[in-house]
Structure 1
């Protein structure tokens, strides 16, 4: 991703954009319902921590280390959250960077869909090796290839995962799944329509121009009323999915354990 995209993501985190706000809510619920961390000893690794908003949230549950390959993103984190421990490096360097370290929780929030992540299976296997027995893996990715659109190219999206593909990867790495669900099912119809328009429109215009227009729309700050409305929809949907996991959505979540 380019520098402007990282700056936009940082602004959205600072503005408490509904997408990041609902992630914090989900994280808190999973911590309280499944993981029960002992803050004094709990070690967390946040792989692909981006601009650091979620890493900051994770720091409330234990000692967290963020891993991020992009120097611009690392610079933004250190400027905004100077107390966070951030390691600059990629997913292919996990076992080298953290040799001799073990973690109670590893998180991967929308990372392995990027073109830079060439082998998701190996990343999960390496993460498994770095975890303590009984440790937890929380993994989310954009779901369903049919939803891929021009905005995905802007953030260097190589793939969207099918939920069954994610299940196969994480179980092959040695984890036992404790909970899984699609996320943002309420957004799926609109996302599908937008993907169809993007992919099959007969209107011809320069690709860069289209992507810049789409970038400005996707990164634009929402009015507070709309932002709160979308957050509350996501929050209600999550509460439902905790009892009745969703089978359709724009992304997929897996919570698994090293047994």
Structure 2
């Protein structure tokens, strides 16, 4: 996705409104609140922060010591429009980001799909070294290769994950897996259908441009999807599958 300014602009425009981002940001903040119930002065790093939507949500939730970085100049530019603390930095070289500084929480959402297994292991090892005692690493990742579509092509998503892979990565890098859950379960089948149709249409004319699914639907539909996901969180504690995989390690 790096270099695709149009996609970053789409993200910037909808990240604080779109049902999917709103649920994800709520999930991250609730985990932070659960792990640090008595402090909002903790230090949080958003590694691969995109256009800064989560950092903005953290600031609004009362966490003043949140910072982030992203490899994309476009992402950093859009993040700075939100007036959040962001630097340009490559996740593959995370060890050199603010040397010597440690964090209570490190978040890395929907970024690991850019990397191969060894790169992921190296990134996680550095994250573990940069966490303070009692700190947590929170990550969201896209799930199940069956859900691959033109969305993946537009965003250069090279892989999708299943729980077993995240369990292995945690074990191999010295983390303990505290929490792992698939989500967007109730919408996964509709998403699968839409993406298969999109992929079929594109395969019939592969020269046509592709775009991600990151766009704001009509207000009523956005509200409906929000309600569905909130019902899912209430009634499905451990869905068997979903379009995303949310994990907490320590």
Instruction: Describe the shift of the 1:204–1:250 C-alpha distance in structure 2 as closer, same or farther (beyond 3 A).
Output: closer
Cα pair 1:31 1:37 within 8 Å, conserved:
no
Identify unmatched segments of 5+ residues in structure 1: none
State the match for 1:47 in structure 2: 47
Task: Work out the CA distance in 2 between the residues paired with 1:208 and 1:66.
Answer: 36
Q: TM-score, normalised by structure 2?
A: 0.90
Name the SS for the 1:119 alignment partner: helix
The Cα of 1:62 is off from its aligned counterpart by 4.3
The offset of 1:22, in angstroms, is 0.9
8 Å contact kept, 1:101–1:130: yes
8 Å CA contact 2:104, 2:135 repeated in 1? yes
Distance (whole Å) between structure 1 residues aligned to residue 243 and residue 118 of structure 2: 22
Matched, 1:152 2:129: no
Distance in 1 (CA, whole Å) between partners of 2:33 and 2:174 is 24
Q: Name the CA shift for 1:240/1:61 in 2 (closer, same or farther; >3 Å).
A: farther
Counterpart mapping for 1:1-259 below 5 A = 1=1, 2-14=4-16, 16-36=17-37, 38-40=39-41, 42-59=42-59, 60-79=62-81, 81-82=82-83, 84-114=84-114, 119-199=119-199, 201=200, 205-209=204-208, 211=210, 214-215=211-212, 218-241=213-236, 244-257=237-250
Structure 2: distance between partners of 1:202 and 1:226: 24
Structure 2: distance between partners of 1:89 and 1:169: 23
Secondary structure of 1:141's aligned partner? strand
Query: Is residue 146–residue 195 contact of structure 1 (8 Å, CA) maintained in 2?
Result: no
CA shift, 1:246, in A, is 1.6
Encode CA deviations 1:183-225: one digit per residue, 9 max, x unaligned: 10012112222344455x48853324151xx54xx34431111
- Asked whether the equivalents of residues 38 and 62 of structure 1 are also in contact (C-alpha less than 8 Å), the reply is no
d(CA) in 2 for partners of 1:222, 1:150: 18
What's the CA shift string for 1:106-161, capped at 9, x where partnerless?
00111111369972111111111111111101111000111111210100101011
Distance 1:20 1:256 in 2: 21
C-alpha distance in 2, partners of 1:255/1:184? 17
Judged with a 3 Å threshold, the aligned counterparts in structure 2 of structure 1 residues 7 and 197 are, in CA distance, closer, same or farther, namely same
Residues 106 and 127, structure 1, Cα contact 8 Å, conserved in 2: yes
- Give the ranges of 4+ consecutive aligned residues of structure 1 lying more than 4 Å apart after TM superposition: 115-118
Q: Which runs of 5+ in 2 are unaligned?
A: none
Q: Which secondary structure state, in structure 1, belongs to the residue aligned with residue 7 of structure 2?
A: helix
- In the alignment of these two chains, the number of paired residues is 246
